[in-house]
Structure 1
Amino acid sequence: MSLPFQSAAILGAGLMGRLLAVTLARAGCNVDLFDAASPTADGAAARVAAAMLAPLAESAVAPASVVRMGHYALTRWPELLAPLAQPVFFQREGTLVLWHRQDAAEAARLARVLARTTQQVPELAPMQTLDGSGIAALEPSLGQRFAQGLLLPGEGQLDNRALLSALLATLENSPNVQLHWQSPRAPSDFSPGAPGQPDRVIDCRGLGAKPQWNALRGVRGEVIRVHAPEVALQRPTRLVHPRYPLYIAPKPGGVFVIGATEIESDDMSPASVRSTLELLSAAYAVHSGFAEARILEIATQCRPTLPDNLPAIRQPHPRVLQINGLYRHGFMIAPAVLDAAMELLVHGRSQLAQSLGLEISDT
């Protein structure tokens, strides 16, 4: 890829900032990456996430454009992971959807939504209906605990923290990348194109960009990480829940990520007792082995969200690009947003964004 510029300042070293920095550096660009926090991404929404790649499952709360971006990412992620400096756990064993008898009506409604999605986005693999023996064949540890379920084939997940670490290691090994930690910056701190200044400024700060993008709001999520060596689940499992979609995502080393509440608030205080009880009780209802799990972390984070809950790229000034609004779908749609942004930077337009329904504007 031939870039029409030689240098870029990227603001924000969360998921999107790191992906862009690695991609631009590999293309020969001199990159300065600025972040208000530390290399551990402790201020990034990406650190508190399950990193599930589940476009059909997410269609319960997301429109077709997000589903298409998620489907695009399923084959793009292995290409992005392969050249990184460290290995990253990635799998595509599908998503298992389960429900208790009292939630059968809600499960039937969800199944209708998923069926409509596969009509709108026919490239998705259709869901498969499971009985108790079918569930046990996929997840023997669940036995006959559930009488019915759905398998969403081909969906996947990755290890979010391993990915952030691998991106960091790759950047640290890149001779044309300068990393600036505890260094908050805004687009107004630069005059892109002027002597001694970067050719481009790319703002990926999430909620940190709210002063420049007033429509942004925070949507709070609460996630629990546990170590449960007695639990054996091979794939992300979603439990139909009357208040919010609950998931259990198995990670390497017997670690499970359990989430996620969704609260319209930018409150970053610790998780509530109610949310914690609901999440842990639901996990125990799926597998009794969670009773002996050890709680590693109860974390909260606010996802950067625009009014329509959709991602957007905009160019408010010449040579300045802003990327934001990835909401709860960050890992699922990041490759599509990355590739669309790169097309825009190289060609001044993005055919990919147009085909997937990703908004690009000049305001």
Structure 2
Amino acid sequence: MIALTAPSHIAILGAGLMGRLLALELAREGHRVEVFEAKGPEADGAAARVAAAMLAPLAESAITEPGVVRMGQYGLNRWPQLIAQLDDHVYFQQNGTLVVWHRQDAADANRLCGLFEKNRRINPSLPALETLTSDRLNEVEPALQGRFNQGVYLPGEGQLDNRQLLATLEKTLTRLGVTFHWHTPRETTDFTPGTAHQPDLVIDCRGLGARTEWQDLRGIRGEVVRVHAPEVTLQRPTRLVHPRYPLYIAPKEDHIFVIGATEIESDDMGPASLRSVMELLSALYTVHSGFAEARILEIATQCRPTLPDNLPAVRWLDERILQVNGLYRHGYMISPAMLDITLQILRTGSTELAASFDVAVHDTADA
């Protein structure tokens, strides 16, 4: 595999989150970067546009592997550095995560809290969760005054505004001289890197668009609602424990909230079903009655690129074509770690970071 030397000519396939982050770092290092994207600059073909962009390693530890949790912790420290390089403001906050439940769901909540504690024993660097009585819950999140009798607070967790981030990444990249080819889908087979008039390296970050070559990729469908709720003042991401329909609410600036719950094994990118939306909004109302007057700005669906083990991976198709994929539902949480793993591979030909996060690095050329 090649070790990159500047200035090289690099083609990146896909202008979603990973594609833009890699383009930013490589352009800042002096490389000539071109980005080929099947859709437009709004990232309307990327899972990154629809995501809630929560950075919640302890909360996600209940459903993922320790390596992903460690990547999430790494990302919480790395995101402020990445955002500081950008031309415009990106909302970022680290006020922790609140988990609440109704009395009838206490057994499920107890099981969830048991998983959190188990995972803290596996990874002692995770912060201790705080069990909240009704009075303490009202102190931590006054907006929920009197609505729940108990909850848990996961300190240090965060979130950012994905739409702001994607927009200012494009603006910053344009200023740095990155060339975007919008509405220009490309396969890796369209390039012969290292030959005359071709890029020196191709990096494939297309997510599900790479399934023609990474055939065990599958889609995990998610559905979210974006609302404007002036009467609601939640200060941090809030999760509602529910046996069938667990809900998350991610507050953004100006009383904008991103609400989601569904995770469906499906490649269907059609509109959300009436049943899903009704259940989601009904659960939302039980968290805060102020959502009854919210204005629905958008109901969106997207499929997240997922490998069979639900873990991310990097692989060389040959010595000049590198693929990064499989970020599943953890894109914003783990993308800084995946970015630095990829950069380390490109700069040195190897990576210690991948081993520390249990990220697989494959070489199909040797298979």
The bucket for the TM-score relative to the shorter chain is: over 0.9
| 3-state SS of 1:195 partner | coil
| 3-state SS of 1:307 partner | coil
1:135 aligns with 2:149: no
Q: After superposition, give the CA deviation of every residue in 1:5-61 in whole Å (9 maximum; x if it has no partner).
A: 611000000000000001100000000100000001011100001000000001111
Structure 2 unmatched runs, 5+: none
TM-score (norm 2): 0.97
Match of 1:329 in 2: 330
Give the whole-Å Cα distance in 2 for the aligned partners of 1:314 and 1:79: 26
Deviation at 1:3, TM superposition (A): 3.6
CA contact (8 A) 1:91 1:156 kept: yes
| 3-state SS of 1:179 partner | strand
CA contact (8 A) 2:6 2:29 kept: no
What count of residue pairs does the alignment treat as equivalent? 362
Match of 1:37 in 2: 39
After the TM superposition, which residues 197-346 of structure 1 pair with which residues of structure 2 at under 5 Å, given as runs?
197-346=198-347
Give the whole-Å Cα distance in 2 for the aligned partners of 1:241 and 1:358: 31
| 3-state SS of 2:213 partner | coil
Deviation at 1:189, TM superposition (A): 0.7
Match of 1:358 in 2: 359
Give the letter aligned to residue 111 of structure 2.
Answer: R
Give the whole-Å Cα distance in 2 for the aligned partners of 1:173 and 1:341: 23
Q: After superposition, give the CA deviation of every residue in 1:65-124 in whole Å (9 maximum; x if it has no partner).
A: 110100100000000000101110000000000000111000000001000111111111
Deviation at 1:293, TM superposition (A): 0.4
Deviation at 1:318, TM superposition (A): 1.0
| 3-state SS of 2:353 partner | helix
Alignment counterpart, residue 83 of structure 1, candidates 82, 85, 95: 85
Deviation at 1:139, TM superposition (A): 1.1
Q: After superposition, give the CA deviation of every residue in 1:317-363 in whole Å (9 maximum; x if it has no partner).
A: 11110000000000000000000000000001111111111111112
Identity over aligned pairs, percent: 63
Q: After superposition, give the CA deviation of every residue in 1:174-233 in whole Å (9 maximum; x if it has no partner).
A: 12x111000001111111111111111000000000001000000100000010000010
Give the whole-Å Cα distance in 2 for the aligned partners of 1:5 and 1:318: 18
Deviation at 1:234, TM superposition (A): 0.2
After the TM superposition, which residues 42-81 of structure 1 pair with which residues of structure 2 at under 5 Å, given as runs?
42-81=44-83
Give the whole-Å Cα distance in 1 for the aligned partners of 2:286 and 2:205: 39
| 3-state SS of 2:301 partner | strand
CA contact (8 A) 2:6 2:30 kept: no
CA contact (8 A) 1:234 1:250 kept: yes
Give the letter aligned to residue 295 of structure 1.
Answer: I
| 3-state SS of 1:304 partner | strand
Deviation at 1:143, TM superposition (A): 0.7
RMSD: 1.1
Match of 1:8 in 2: 10
Give the whole-Å Cα distance in 2 for the aligned partners of 1:222 and 1:230: 24
Give the letter aligned to residue 77 of structure 2.
Answer: T
Structure 1 unmatched runs, 5+: none
CA contact (8 A) 1:312 1:360 kept: yes
| 3-state SS of 1:78 partner | helix
| 3-state SS of 1:93 partner | coil
Give the whole-Å Cα distance in 1 for the aligned partners of 2:166 and 2:261: 20
Match of 1:112 in 2: 114
CA contact (8 A) 2:27 2:33 kept: yes
Give the whole-Å Cα distance in 2 for the aligned partners of 1:178 and 1:320: 19
User: Which aligned runs of 4 or more in structure 1 are off by greater than 3 angstroms?
Assistant: 1-5
Give the whole-Å Cα distance in 2 for the aligned partners of 1:218 and 1:331: 17
CA contact (8 A) 2:7 2:30 kept: no
Give the whole-Å Cα distance in 1 for the aligned partners of 2:245 and 2:307: 20
After the TM superposition, which residues 96-111 of structure 1 pair with which residues of structure 2 at under 5 Å, given as runs?
96-111=98-113
CA contact (8 A) 2:12 2:19 kept: yes
Match of 1:190 in 2: 191
